[in-house]
């Protein structure tokens, strides 16, 4: 294991005066014109008219536009206007959500470093990173984001975080003549580098070029397209049938044409697009309030179909911060509590605090680690903020552990033991040594490094048995996924030779086990995923032992199992491996991430992929749902994603999945309601003549019923809260029809019930010498409103008062149709009295009861 420790540097000045003068400003401008700006070309903004046309090409919108043309053909301009408003509403909301999401993602781009320091005409300049050109001399210091692919000409104790490109969370040490890539971060040290590739020619640009701009339809879009085709065929067939039967009974062509077209409008749930859009928009709004930014509305519903969640490790399952969790000394070991870089915590053994005698060797170990250290901890400015690390995260973890052990703080240590010499870490020696003056005039030597570079007789003056015991302990800790450092030290009377020559004859102080611990909620989040039928898969560029350890600690795999980790090289050597049988992947490259996504999709799974790095971009694009991290993610990842997590928490994905299921449940609930009502209207018109109700309803009455039931009330159903069991059922099969899993049966039974109760009310009204057609009109409308309330997942909830309010308004407008003179004349209705109103109320109550019973009967098949 390579220890991530390096030499001291805390400023960002150049290593030395660079040998060359850098480019002239005129030459830089010429190269900028030749090579272009140093940025990955953003996706071209979609023109507004293309966004609108994309919304209008939706199959159900097409059916709705056809229905609007039919209403215009029969002269029903008010209903045509209503349908047109629904189309406008749907299109406006859909386009507005996409534009708003794109703007929000653009704002997140400000998280990226916008400037670079370059040498121009022997003078350092800070310029926008987009203006860096090939040949520029870049001055790199701690915390800088590298602006372009470059060759290092000078480097001092340089440590580079390449995780955004490689997925490997451990920083990499670099020296002169090495290369650095665009978008990587300087963790430690200083360097001078010559830019060699910018923009699309850089490593970042090459990976971004893998992104496919084409997108496949989402599961919801496919299901609604299929439904639109079925509705169009059924509507035309029923209209032709009804028209023919009417002519056979001797009714006029004009009467039957108007009525058949009215039935066509009734058969199409024209508010479905509005319900879908409202449900998706409300879902996106709820997600945004809970730190999930939806970039495309259909992605809300697709989340509800997710059956595989492919997650990365660093910062998603783990905290993304180094923490010392275990220390070992020749006299004993201890566990270290505490999180992040906060100095609060304890050292315990077997669950109890260490005694002062037991704690002393631990303090000696951690004091040496704190002295042989170039990081620092930054105290939070506000109580709500967290402690942060300045410098190498691994060294910062050592400082936090020293504070938890009760060691003096770093400033006090350096004041008492000032450093006067050092041998920085490099990839050959794999260790770092510092020399300090002690108050008594002696010299303290502190050394830390990789176990294989420290636990040797050439460095330590210890018995072979102790060295073997320490090596065995280091191997055990490494197998558990820890990064292990060995720490040694000694006192000398005097030292006037170079620091590297002090690396012999030292005493072993112990081992430090460091990890990026899993987030507290990670295990619970994955358990919720499994309860919801979602298979979690870990894909990381990290070491397989580290990946396996995190997978075990989060419950992604069981401890003791073998063969559950597949590495990228193993996958390359055996390309025919069934990738869907593996749950943990390590050392993967961008193409292999794509292969994993494709393998699951080939099995029919709906995949969600999380990622933050440039290397994650292609897989985020190809997954059904790409989930990018907003706080620490790259612009490439955010642009490729459908969902951006502003809090970088995996639990937010689970929240989004629940919201997606709620949206889909509401859409299916509306379909049961609206299509059952439309079918009941057609059945009433077909069965009425068999009961001597020659023309059960007039065209205007059908359209009025349709307007009140499919309009305000139908749209309100899209805002229903999530069902109590939404996350305790498996995801829907991706090929499942939107009306499958019991929905067809419920729809038909409800249609038959509404038809029966309405016809009974009509026949009873005729027997009671009441205006039977008006009673039938009122009963059919009231029964559908009863179904709307009966299908609620939470009957008495106050979360969506819009639905009961809209039912009440629709009921009042139904009564207005019988009592307002203008509506009486338009709809050819008349008052029905208390008896007629009672019959309609009875029909509504009976329909409500049937809807509640049916909801319970189908509860196990499809909760909607």
- Of residues 622 and 773, the one with the higher pLDDT is 773
In a domain, 549, yes or no: no
Q: Give 460's DSSP letter.
A: B
Domain end: 515, 547, 569, which one?
A: 515
Q: How far apart are alpha carbons 360 and 713 in whole angstroms?
A: 73
- Mean pLDDT is highest, among 310-314, 533-537, 653-657, for 533-537
pLDDT tens-digit profile of 196-231? 998 888 877 776 665 544 455 555 656 666 676 677
Q: How far apart are alpha carbons 725 and 656 in whole angstroms?
A: 15
Residues 6 or more apart whose Cβ sits within 8 Å of residue 818: 774, 778, 824, 829, 830, 831, 832
The CATH number of residue 416's host domain is 3.40.1110.10
- Of residues 741 and 127, the one with the higher pLDDT is 127
pLDDT tens-digit profile of 455-512? 999 999 999 999 999 999 998 998 887 889 999 999 998 888 888 889 999 999 999 9
Residue 48 has pLDDT above 90, yes or no: no
Domain shared by 295 and 341, yes or no: no
**Strands laid side by side in the 507-515 sheet:** 352-353, 347-349, 332-336, 323-329, 507-515, 483-492, 443-449, 431-437, 419-423
Domain end: 208, 241, 266, which one?
A: 208
- Burial track 820-835 (b if 16+ CB lie within 10 A, e otherwise): eeebbeebebeebeee
Domain shared by 142 and 229, yes or no: no
- Of residues 590 and 265, the one with the higher pLDDT is 590
Residue whose C-alpha is closest to residue 654's, from 765, 457, 522, 559: 522
Domain end: 171, 187, 208, which one?
A: 208
Residue 553 has pLDDT above 50, yes or no: yes
Let me know: does 304 contact 667? Beta carbons within 8 Å: no
Q: Which two tokens stand for residue 437?
A: 């003056």
- The overall average pLDDT reported for the chain is 80
Residue whose C-alpha is closest to residue 343's, from 412, 392, 389, 391: 389
Long-range contacts of 725-729 (CB under 8 A, 24+ apart): 725/863, 726/658, 726/661, 726/662, 726/665, 726/863, 727/528, 727/531, 727/532, 727/654, 727/657, 727/658, 727/661, 728/531, 728/532, 729/532, 729/533, 729/863
Which range of residues forms the domain containing residue 777?
A: 48-101+215-303+655-857
The CATH number of residue 88's host domain is 1.20.1110.10
In a domain, 650, yes or no: no
pLDDT of residue 486: 96
pLDDT of residue 7: 30
Domain shared by 268 and 164, yes or no: no
Residues 6 or more apart whose Cβ sits within 8 Å of residue 57: none
Let me know: does 845 contact 786? Beta carbons within 8 Å: yes
Domain shared by 92 and 124, yes or no: no
In a domain, 79, yes or no: yes
pLDDT of residue 487: 97
Domain shared by 175 and 278, yes or no: no
Residue 30 has pLDDT above 70, yes or no: yes
- Burial track 208-222 (b if 16+ CB lie within 10 A, e otherwise): bebbeeeeeebbbbe
- Of residues 297 and 122, the one with the higher pLDDT is 122
pLDDT of residue 157: 77
- Of residues 454 and 54, the one with the higher pLDDT is 454
Domain shared by 356 and 494, yes or no: yes
What mean pLDDT do residues 129-145 have? 85
The CATH number of residue 197's host domain is 2.70.150.10
CA separation, residue 755 to residues 304, 380, 769, 779, 847 (Å): 33, 68, 21, 10, 10
In a domain, 565, yes or no: no
pLDDT of residue 108: 41
In a domain, 601, yes or no: no
Domain shared by 710 and 761, yes or no: yes
In a domain, 557, yes or no: no
Domain shared by 739 and 779, yes or no: yes
Cα 272 from chain centroid?
Answer: 27
- Of residues 751 and 706, the one with the higher pLDDT is 751
Kindly indicate the confidence band of residue 634, based on its pLDDT and cuts at 50, 70 and 90.
low
Q: How far apart are alpha carbons 718 and 849 in whole angstroms?
A: 22
Domain shared by 422 and 327, yes or no: yes
Q: Give me the helices (H) in 337-443, please.
A: 356-371, 393-404, 410-416
pLDDT of residue 333: 94
Q: Among this protein's residues, is 576 annotated catalytic?
A: no
For 328, the 3-state DSSP assignment is strand
pLDDT of residue 137: 92
Residue 256 has pLDDT above 90, yes or no: no
> 294 - beta bridge partners?
643
- How many other C-beta atoms are found inside a 10 Å radius of the C-beta of residue 1? 18
pLDDT tens-digit profile of 696-717? 887 678 778 877 887 778 778 8
Let me know: does 302 contact 218? Beta carbons within 8 Å: yes
Backbone angles phi, psi at 293, to 5 degrees: -95, 115
Let me know: does 761 contact 786? Beta carbons within 8 Å: no
Domain shared by 275 and 155, yes or no: no
What mean pLDDT do residues 540-565 have? 77
Q: Is the pTM of this model over 0.85?
A: no
Kindly indicate the confidence band of residue 109, based on its pLDDT and cuts at 50, 70 and 90.
very low
Let me know: does 213 contact 639? Beta carbons within 8 Å: no
Number of domains in the chain: 3
What mean pLDDT do residues 858-864 have? 43
pLDDT of residue 270: 56
In a domain, 554, yes or no: no
Let me know: does 790 contact 804? Beta carbons within 8 Å: no
Which residue's structure tokens are 């996409």? 98
Kindly indicate the confidence band of residue 578, based on its pLDDT and cuts at 50, 70 and 90.
confident
Catalytic residue among 58, 136, 173, 312: 312
In a domain, 605, yes or no: no
Residue 54 has pLDDT above 90, yes or no: no
Categorise residue 481: left if φ over 0, alpha if ψ from -120 to 50, beta otherwise: left
What mean pLDDT do residues 174-197 have? 87
Domain shared by 92 and 202, yes or no: no
Domain shared by 295 and 434, yes or no: no
């Amino acid at each position: 294991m390579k220890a991530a420790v390096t030499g001291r540097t805390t400023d960002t000045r150049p290593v030395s005066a660079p040998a060359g003068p850098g480019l002239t400003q005129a030459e830089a401008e010429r190269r900028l014109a030749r090579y272009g700006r140093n940025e990955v070309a953003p996706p071209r903004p979609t023109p507004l008219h293309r966004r609108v046309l994309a919304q209008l090409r939706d199959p159900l919108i097409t059916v709705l536009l056809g229905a609007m043309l039919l209403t215009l053909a029969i002269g029903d301009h008010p209903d045509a206007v209503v349908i047109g408003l629904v189309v406008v509403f749907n299109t406006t909301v859909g386009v507005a959500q996409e534009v708003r999401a794109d703007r929000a993602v653009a704002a997140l781009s400000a998280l990226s470093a916008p400037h670079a320091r370059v040498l121009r005409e022997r003078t350092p300049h800070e310029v926008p990173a987009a203006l860096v050109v090939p040949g520029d001399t870049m001055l790199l210091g701690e915390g800088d984001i590298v602006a372009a692919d470059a060759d290092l000409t000078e480097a001092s104790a340089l440590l580079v975080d390449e995780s955004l490109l490689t997925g490997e969370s451990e920083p990499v040490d670099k020296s002169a003549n090495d290369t650095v890539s665009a978008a990587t971060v300087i963790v430690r040290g200083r360097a001078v580098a010559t830019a060699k590739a910018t923009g699309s020619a850089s490593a970042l640009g090459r990976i971004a070029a893998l992104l496919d701009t084409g997108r496949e339809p989402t599961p919801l879009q496919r299901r609604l397209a299929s439904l639109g085709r079925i509705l169009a065929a059924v509507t035309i067939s029923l209209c032709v049938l009804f028209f023919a039967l009417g002519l056979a009974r001797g009714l006029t062509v004009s009467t039957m044409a108007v009525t058949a077209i009215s039935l066509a409008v009734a058969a199409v749930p024209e508010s479905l697009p509005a319900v879908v859009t409202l449900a998706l928009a409300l879902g996106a709004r709820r997600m945004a309030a809970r730190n999930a930014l939806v970039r495309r509305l259909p992605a809300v519903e697709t989340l509800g179909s997710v059956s595989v969640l492919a997650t990365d490790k660093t910062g998603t399952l783990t905290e993304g911060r180094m923490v010392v969790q275990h220390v070992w000394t020749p006299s004993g070991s201890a566990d270290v509590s505490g999180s992040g870089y906060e100095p609060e915590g304890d050292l315990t053994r077997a669950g109890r605090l260490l005694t002062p005698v037991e704690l002393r060797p631990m303090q000696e170990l951690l004091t040496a680690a704190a002295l042989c250290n170039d990081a620092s901890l930054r105290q939070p400015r506000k109580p709500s903020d967290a402690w942060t690390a300045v410098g190498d995260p691994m060294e910062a973890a050592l400082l936090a552990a020293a504070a938890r052990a009760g060691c003096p703080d770093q400033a006090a240590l350096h004041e008492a033991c000032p450093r006067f010499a050092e041998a920085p870490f490099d990839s050959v020696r794999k260790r770092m040594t510092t020399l300090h003056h002690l108050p008594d005039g002696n010299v303290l030597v502190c050394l830390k490094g990789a176990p294989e570079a420290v636990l040797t007789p050439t460095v330590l003056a210890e018995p072979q048995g102790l060295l073997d015991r320490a090596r065995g302990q280091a191997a055990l800790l490494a197998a558990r996924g820890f990064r292990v450092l060995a720490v040694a030290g000694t006192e000398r009377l005097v030292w006037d030779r170079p620091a590297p020559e002090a690396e012999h004859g030292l005493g072993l102080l112990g081992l430090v086990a460091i990890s990026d611990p899993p987030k507290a909620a990670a295990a619970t989040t994955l358990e919720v995923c499994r309860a919801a039928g979602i298979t979690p898969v870990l894909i990381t560029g990290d070491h397989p032992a580290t990946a396996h350890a995190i997978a075990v600690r989060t419950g992604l795999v069981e401890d003791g199992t073998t063969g559950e980790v597949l590495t990228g090289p193993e996958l390359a050597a055996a390309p025919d491996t069934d990738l869907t049988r593996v749950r943990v992947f390590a050392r993967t490259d961008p193409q292999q991430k794509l292969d994993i996504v494709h393998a699951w999709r080939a099995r029919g799974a709906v995949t969600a992929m999380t990622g933050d790095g440039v290397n994650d971009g292609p897989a985020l694009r190809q997954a059904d749902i790409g989930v990018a991290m907003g706080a620490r993610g790259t612009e490439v990842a955010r642009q490729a994603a459908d969902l951006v997590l502003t809090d970088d928490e995996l639990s937010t994905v689970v929240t989004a999945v629940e919201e997606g299921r709620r949206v889909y449940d509401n859409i299916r609930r509306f379909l049961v309601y609206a299509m059952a009502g439309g079918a009941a209207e057609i059945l009433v018109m077909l069965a009425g003549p068999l009961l001597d109700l020659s023309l059960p309803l007039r065209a205007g009455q059908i359209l009025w019923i349709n307007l009140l039931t499919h309009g305000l009330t139908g749209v309100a159903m899209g805002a229903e809260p999530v069902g109590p069991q939404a996350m305790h059922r498996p995801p829907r099969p991706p090929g499942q029809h939107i009306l499958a899993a019991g929905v067809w049966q419920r729809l038909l039974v409800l249609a038959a019930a509404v038809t029966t109760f309405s016809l009974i009310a009509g026949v009873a009204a005729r027997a009671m010498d009441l205006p039977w057609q008006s009673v039938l009109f009122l009963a059919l409308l009231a029964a559908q409103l009863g179904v709307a309330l009966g299908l609620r997942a939470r009957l008495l909830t106050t979360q969506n008062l819009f639905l009961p309010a809209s039912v009440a308004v629709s009921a009042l407008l139904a009564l207005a149709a019988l009592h307002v003179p203008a509506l009486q004349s338009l709809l050819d209705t008349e008052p029905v009295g208390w008896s007629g109103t009672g019959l309609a109320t009875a029909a509504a109550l009976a329909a409500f009861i049937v809807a509640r019973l049916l909801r319970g009967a189908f509860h196990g098949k499809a909760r909607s």
